[in-house]
Amino acid sequence: MGMTRGAVRCAIAAVLFGASAPLAAELADDVSPFALAGLLYVGAAIAVLPIAGRARPQRNAVRRGRARLATAVVLGGAFGPVLLAFGLRAASPATSSLLLNLELVFTTIIAGLVFREHLGTRVVAGTGAVVAASVVLAGEADTDVRWGALLIAGACLCWAIDNCVTAALDEFAPAHITLVKGAVAGGANLAIGLAADGAPALDAVLALLVIGALGYGVSITLWVAGARDLGAARGQLVFATAPFVGAVVAWTVLGDDVSARAVIALAIAAAGVLLVVHSAHAHEHSHEGVTHEHEHEHADGHHDHAHDDGFAGRHAHEHVHLAVTHVHPHLPDVHHRHAH
C-alpha cells in the first residue's frame, strides 16, 4: 500500500512539475531570474496556505527540525530556483526539461552515501540509465546550451540535498514545508528581483503565480508526502518522469524542435525509471524509540496506538514509537532509514 500510494503521489507531482518547466521557460526572457524564481515559490505558498493553516506544528517539533528546514529553504527554495531561472535562458525548453533528470542522480548519490538510504541494484541501475541519458544530451555543441546545462545541474544539486532532508523531515507536515519555502525563499528572491529590475508585466506575474501554485505548491507537497512512503531516492526516481512530461509539453504545446538526440535520451531515461518497480526488501531490523509527526494509519505494523474516539483511518499527529525489532518487507520510508 505504501509503495502504491507513494508512487501515485510522486507521479502526480512529476506531471505538475514537468509541465511547469517549459511553461516557465517561455517567460524567462520577460522576467528577471530572481523575480521568476520568487513568483513561482510565492505562488506555491499561496496554494498551500489553506491546508497549512488548519494546524500548526508543535513547538518542540519546530525546535527539532528547524535546522533541516532552514537547509531545505535556502538550497531548495532560494538557490535552486534562481540557478534554474538563469539556466532556462540559455537552454531550450525541451533540453532544460530533460536535464532536470540530474536531480535524480544527485538525490540517489546523496541519499545512499550521506543519508545511508538502502538503494539496491534496481535503483542503482536506473540511476545509471539516467546518467547515460544526460550524457547524450550533453553532446550539444552550442556553448550557451552547455552553460545553461551547468546552471541547471547546479539547481538539481541544490534540490537533491533538499529532497534528502525533507524526505526525513517528519517534524512538519508537507504543506508546512512548502509554505515556509514559498514565503521565505520565494519572498526574498522576489524582493531582490523587484529591487534590481523593477516589476514585470501583470500578465507574466499572474501566469507565474498560477504555474508556481500547481507546478511547485501542489507538486512539492505531494512529493514530500510520497517520499516519506518511498524514501528520497525512489521518490525521486518516480519524479524523474517530470522531464519527460516537460519535453512533451515543449514539443506539442510550445512547438519546440524535436531532436533525435533528445528522443534517444528520453527513451534511455524512461528505461531507467522502469527499473525501480517493486524494489522493496525484507530483513530483521531494529527501530529506536522516537517521537515524531507524519501521515499514517494503524494497520501498517508501526502505529498501534489508540485514539479516544476509536478513529483508525489515515491521519497525522505527533505520536510515540517504542523500540522494536522485527522482520517485514519495507522501503526506506520515514521509519526505515537504517543502514545495511
Helix (H, G, I), strand (E, B) or coil at 27: coil
- The count of other CB atoms within 10 Å of the CB of residue 113 is 10
What is the per-residue pLDDT for 201? 92
pTM (predicted TM-score)? 0.69
As a three-state string, the secondary structure of 43-77 is HHHHHHHHHHCCCCCCHHHHHHHHHHHHHHHHHHH
d(CA 321, CA 304): 9
What is the pLDDT at residue 204?
93
For the chain, the structural domain boundaries read 2-281, 283-330
CA distance 124 to 132: 12
* Cβ atoms of residues 46 and 209 within 8 Å: yes
DSSP code of 329?
E
| C-alpha 236, offset from chain centre | 7
Query: Would you say 84 and 25 are in contact if contact means Cβ atoms under 8 Å apart?
Result: no
| Helix boundaries (H) for the chain | 2-25, 33-52, 59-71, 80-88, 93-99, 102-113, 120-137, 143-167, 174-180, 187-197, 202-212, 219-230, 232-239, 242-252, 260-274
pLDDT tens by residue, the chain, 340 residues: 556 788 888 888 988 988 887 888 888 888 988 999 999 999 999 999 998 888 788 888 788 888 999 999 999 989 998 898 888 777 776 677 667 778 878 888 888 888 777 777 777 887 788 778 767 765 554 555 678 888 888 999 999 999 889 887 878 888 999 999 999 999 999 999 999 989 999 999 999 999 999 999 999 899 888 887 777 777 877 787 776 777 777 777 777 777 787 788 778 877 877 776 554 545 454 556 666 565 556 555 555 666 665 555 555 666 676 665 655 444 555 554 545 4
Distance from C-alpha of 170 to C-alpha of 166, rounded to nearest angstrom: 8
What CA–CA distance (Å, rounded) separates 86 from 200? 16
Measure the CA–CA gap between 211 and 251, rounded to whole angstroms. 18
What SS3 class is residue 254? coil
Q: Answer for the pair 42, 212: CB distance below 8 angstroms, yes or no.
A: yes
Contacts of 307 (CB under 8 A, 6+ apart): none
